[in-house]
Structure 1
Amino acid sequence: MEVICRTPEGKLEVYLKGAPEVVVKMCSSSLDSGGGIRNLDETEQQELLNRHLSLAKKGERIIALAYRQIEELREYTGDFIFLGFIGIVDPPRPEAREAIAKCHTAGIKVVMITGDHPVTAESIAKDVGLANSGNLEIITGNELATLSRADLASRLKNPSIVFARTSPVQKLKIVQLFQAEGEIVTMTGDGVNDAPAIKNADMGVAMGSGTDVAREAADMVLLDDNFATIVNAVEEGRTVFDNIKKFIVYILASNIPEILPFIAFVLFALPLPMPVQLILAIDLGTDMLPAIALGKEKGEGDIMKRPPRAREEKLLTPPLLFTAYAVKGPVEAIAGFFCYFAVLFEGGWRFGEQLANNNPLYMQSITAFFSAVIICQIANVFASRTRYQSVFSMGLFSNRMVLIGIASEILILAFIIWNPSANLIFNTSPLDLRYLLIAVPFAILLLGIDELRKYLLRRNVSWVTRYLKW
């Protein structure tokens, strides 16, 4: 950058600042320590550039300064007097190294794009753990302009890349190159020159202290200007996505014991094991708080050790539906029917016999079915707290909302069974405690089956991963 100034004596002087390798080549002389001016030959220019490189290796950002006197207002490209270097130390935040390490384990590729000298960029990249000298790929702006599309695509596959001495147009080009390779690109920046790349990235992130143009172009603004915040946001996003799936698999599992009673009622002429009012009691009552509590779960230990999910991955996947409808749901339905028939047969009922809605035996039988489903759902909410890890590794009190949700289930169940007003509303009847205990082994079975599923997933058993990894 050149700036033309007029001195108090009325003379015109042009002051120059910029990249050392450019500025030094534009200088024919230098200012010595005594204030005198002496000529610069090629050897001395190279010596200045070597000094610049020694500073750059320390991670300093170097700007060269020069000036000359002029006679008229125009652009000048030579005969400058070299003044010196300014070394700027802008160390990375201490947490940047840990954040980049998290990205690597999470399958997220971190690429540095900077206008700094390649040596400075390499030093900073090593300092933050972006790469070591063995696998670091450094591409300069000049190389970027000359490489073919095929060569660029090949070099972009390197896990550790630094782009140095890049222009604003080249930053945009880099974003577009990664997108063309099918990558989902997040671009961060703070200056006006970063705005085009931020705007065109899949996710644009601007620093809170950045320019208005950068903030307007961004999808997200970091108020603390901290790269680690982006990584924390990724972790939080993965946790939320996991928790939504946990919520869904928990809710869907109870659909099977709600649907099968109607099928049995139609096909086998059984007294309806689960009337509508009890289905509503589950969907709008007992399931509500536990499902909400699953949304409060912390991320599992491997949450940032998994690769990013595919762009086309849906929330409702076949393995999730299979787990809910073909694994957990049937166990709950079997538990319900077992308790239902236990009450009926003990009361002297025979197949084909119809029971009136106000028949005490029928009221007890549907109460037993309902109770078995609730007891299994209590086991299900525990099982659904994790997708891959053992639920026993999470700690009983790590999510107190789950315990509150389970307590609400038990209270609602007790209210519906033993409260006379609730008996009238739901057509239920007080139930002997032994019929509740009958359902407990099925709840333990449900929890055990899901723990086995998670164990086999952690062992990378292929068919379990294919059909039961949700």
Structure 2
Amino acid sequence: MKMGLVVKQMKTVETLGSATVICTDKTGTLTENKMVLSELFFAGKIYHELEIGELNSIPLGRLLLDAMVLNNDAVMVAQDYYLGDSTEVALKMAVSRQGLNLPDGIRLAEIPFNSNRKMMTTFHKLSGKIIAFTKGAPEMLLPRCPLADQLGLKALVQAMTDKGQRTLAFAYRYYDHLPEHPNSITDEHDLVFLGVVGLKDPVREGVKQSVSECRNAGIVPVMITGDHLGTARSIALQTGIIQGEKELCITGEELGKMDEDLLLSKIQKVRVYARVSPDQKLRIVHALQKSGNFVAMTGDGINDAPSLVAANIGIAMGISGTDVAKAAADMILLDDNFVTIVRAVEAGRKVYDNILKLIKYLLTTNSSELLTLLLGPMIGLPLALLPIHILWLNLISDGLPALSLSFEKADENIMKRPPRDPQDQIFSMPRTFHMLWVGIMMAGVAISVQALAFVMHLHWQTIVFNVLCLSQMAHALSVRSESRTIFKLGFWSNPMMVLSVLVIILGQFMITFIPALQKIFHLEALNLQELIIVASASMSVLLVVELAKIFVKNRSSFSLSEDQ
């Protein structure tokens, strides 16, 4: 919730760190979903927002303004404040800002919008006549206007969309009487063209940087939108989703003509899908998955539910999303913002990293205790620890640092490395090797100290117990990063870890030196010589593990320079 996400299962955040593709809508996710009328084309002339009041004195111009207001489901809830689809709100706001009287033509019937027709028609009684206003995607509506200049209007629409504008065409038709059963087949033909409106939706702040972070992290952002190809391409260029000529933009119509093999051959290069239908979204998800991608998909409509379910991670919009979409998704984006998705990816990688650190820490420390108990008697030494010592080590010196690792900050390169393969095993070879050699080293240090103390007639059991506990603290400080040393990380970069270590050291001091606690834990006070042995042995673990990081890093750098 703090990040702007509602996650249904915690494993979803971890899984999001494996995403290789993020399929995102344009409106409201990449953009602010605050549509503003930018341009209006009428009778061969372009009018800007502040000029559309001039249309009120032109009969057909007034009819276009009426169409913008009447073929519209936005509802005014206060003075100059509307609720509804952002496009429809922008149309009503553009007219009302001119101080014009809004028409009160009663809606008699309608042919609702659908994603296949990409149009909507409403019937009204206006000035004593029955009139139908139709608005929709220009490429769908213009062919139904037989007297319109098809080529000229197509070029106009292309120019507007190239500027990043969403375009809507308007047309009308008069009737002698209201059709009994209005339908698209009979009533959305032989229309009279009125004009084209261009609306702008600003790109959200931070989206361009987030898209860049995605690319650096090996994640491909893909735009899937119902908008015109030109509009989609313009926003993709502004946000950095498209950066080169090899990255493709295709329409839903082109997608429909592709067979499965052709789509699979191009799917890795396509960055923008425009004018797509919900069923095509599902096809895109399946094709990306067949190409080996781990797909995160955003959606808001009822028809988006199948693609949200099919995606590896379904993300529903919290503001504009329907209840069906939210129920189908794995997580809900409360602010509908692409930036939040990228932050969630980073959080997912961080969560997984911290889980690995916790596992490495616990298994390493527990293996060191086990080996100390097993190997000591095998070489003739007494049993190093009593049951109460083991209980203390497992509950206190293991438990508190393990919890503190969950507060570890993300590595500085977390969004500069490729996504994790979801099939990767926790016990990979390098990770398992680390747990083995560090566990063996810690046990070796503990047994060596035990043997030395035993021969020197020192308080060997108290010494071994303290060495194991404090060497585990040293390892807890070191395991926080696989590559950066504790000095580069900074001691205070995780205050919870520092606090845990200090609390445990204080606890060790108390049970070692307070007589009442000594009796409970069967320990004896250590002298200065014994304390130096404990401190030296414990710090040797930290020193060796930190030197190993430097060695591995230098070897990797050397190998990379040789390859170049």
* TM-score bracket for the superposition, by shorter chain length: 0.7 to 0.9
1:197 aligns with 2:307: yes
Tell me which residue corresponds to 2:466: 371
The residue that corresponds to 1:97 in the other structure is 208
The answer to whether the Cα contact below 8 Å between 1:456 and 1:464 also exists between their aligned partners in 2 is no
Given candidates 128, 137, 145, the residue that maps to 1:19 is 137
The question of 1:380 aligning with 2:475 is answered yes
> 2-side partners of 1:133 and 1:238: how far apart?
28
Contact in 2 for aligned 1:453/1:464 (Cα 8 Å): no
State which of 57, 69, 72 in structure 1 corresponds to 2:162. 57
When the two structures are superposed, what TM-score results if normalisation uses the length of structure 1?
0.87
Which of structures 1 and 2 has the larger relative contact order (alpha carbons within 8 angstroms, sep 6+)?
2
Cα distance in 1, alignment partners of residues 559 and 538 from structure 2: 22
Residue 324 (str. 1) matches residue 435 (str. 2): yes
Structure 1 residue ranges without an equivalent (≥5): 30-39, 348-360, 466-470
Q: Residue 414 of structure 1 aligns with which residue?
A: 509
CA distance in 2, matches of 1:259, 1:421: 28
Q: Residue in 2 aligned with 1:215?
A: 326
- Measured at CA, do residues 390 and 161 of structure 1 come closer, stay the same or move farther in structure 2, by a change above 3 Å? same
1:2, distance to aligned residue in structure 2 (A): 3.9
Report the counterpart of residue 433 of structure 1 in structure 2.
528
Residue equivalent to 1:186: 296
Is the Cα contact below 8 Å between 2:134 and 2:188 reproduced in 1?
Answer: no
Q: Note if 1:313 corresponds to 2:424.
A: yes
Q: Does 1:264 align with 2:375?
A: yes
**Distance across 2 between alignment mates of 1:286 and 1:199:** 43
Q: Is the 8 A contact 2:449 2:537 kept in 1?
A: no
Partner Cα distance (1:463, 1:435) in 2 = 42
Query: Which of 142, 149, 165 in structure 1 is aligned with 2:275?
Result: 165
CA distance in 1, matches of 2:526, 2:124: 99
1:364-410: per-residue Cα shift (whole Å, max 9, x none)? 11111111112212221111111222222222211111111111121
- Residues 276 and 319 of structure 1: is their aligned pair in 2 closer, same or farther, counting only changes over 3 Å? farther
1:299 Cα shift?
A: 0.2
Deviations 1:173-219 (A, max 9, x none): 11111122232211112223323222321211111112222222222
Between Structure 1 and Structure 2, how many residues are aligned?
Answer: 435
Give 1:66-465 correspondences, 5 Å limit: 66-70=171-175, 72=179, 73-74=182-183, 75-158=186-269, 161-210=271-320, 211-326=322-437, 328-347=438-457, 364-459=459-554, 461=556
Give per-residue Cα distances to partners, 1:97-139, cap 9 Å, x unaligned: 1111111111111111011111111100011111224232111
1:33 maps to what in 2?
Answer: none
Question: For the aligned residues, what is the CA RMSD?
Answer: 2.3
CA distance in 1 between counterparts of 2:492 and 2:485 reads 15
Please give the alpha-carbon distance, in whole angstroms, between the structure 2 residues aligned to 1:391 and 1:286.
19
Note the C-alpha offset of 1:296: 0.6
The residue aligned with 1:354 is none
Cα shift at 1:8? 4.7
Q: CA deviation at 1:274?
A: 2.0
Cα drift, residue 442 of structure 1:
3.8
1:436 Cα deviation from its structure 2 partner: 2.6
AA in 2 matched with 1:399: N
SS of 1:124's equivalent?
Answer: helix
Other structure's SS at 1:28 match: coil
Which amino acid is the alignment partner of residue 60 of structure 1? Answer: Q
Name the amino acid aligned to 2:285: V
How big is each residue's C-alpha offset from its partner over 1:4-54, in whole Å with a ceiling of 9 and x where there is no partner?
A: 41425664333221111221222133xxxxxxxxxx4xxx32111111111
What is the CA deviation profile of residues 216-252 of structure 1, one whole-angstrom value per residue up to 9, with x for unaligned ones? 2222111111111111111111111111111222222
- 1:353 aligned residue: none
SS in 2 for 1:263: helix
Closer, same or farther in 2 for the Cα pair 1:4/1:402, shift >3 Å?
A: closer
**Letter of the structure 2 residue corresponding to residue 368 of structure 1:** I
Distance in 1 of aligned mates of 2:551 and 2:242: 34
Q: Are the aligned partners of 1:138 and 1:162 in contact in 2 as well (CA < 8 Å)?
A: yes
Moved more, 3-12 or 167-176: 3-12
Q: Is the 8 A contact 2:513 2:524 kept in 1?
A: yes
Higher alpha-carbon deviation: 242-251 or 445-454:
445-454
Change (3 A) 1:265 1:329: closer
Tell me the TM-score normalized by structure 2. 0.73
Taking a change above 3 Å as real, the CA distance of residues 131 and 443 of structure 1, as seen in their structure-2 partners, is farther
Q: Verify the 8 A CA contact 1:273 1:340 in the aligned structure 2.
A: yes
8 Å Cα contact 1:205/1:218 also seen in 2: yes
SS of the residue corresponding to residue 186 of structure 1 reads strand
Q: What residue is the counterpart of 2:4 in the other structure?
A: none
Q: Contact 2:397 / 2:473 at 8 angstroms: preserved in 1?
A: no
Q: Which amino acid counterpart does residue 58 of structure 1 have in structure 2?
A: K
Q: Does 1:7 align with 2:125?
A: yes
SS in 1 for 2:187: coil
- State the Cα distance separating 1:266 from its structure 2 match: 4.3
* Greater alpha carbon shift after TM alignment, 429-438 vs 57-66: 429-438
Alpha-carbon contact 2:372-2:446 (below 8 Å) kept: no
- Kept after mapping to 2: 8 A contact 1:339/1:435: no
Kindly indicate whether the alpha-carbon contact (under 8 Å) linking 1:140 and 1:165 is maintained by their aligned counterparts in 2: yes
Query: 1:194, 1:214 within 8 Å by CA — same for their partners in 2?
Result: yes
Counterpart contact for 1:286–1:408, Cα < 8 Å: no
Offset of 1:434 from its aligned partner? Answer: 2.0
When residues 105 and 234 of structure 1 are mapped into structure 2, their CA distance, relative to the original with a 3 A threshold, is same
**Offset of residue 422 of structure 1:** 2.2
Structure 1 position 455, deviation (Å): 3.2
Give the secondary structure class of the aligned counterpart of 1:94: coil
**What percent of counterpart residues are identical?**
37
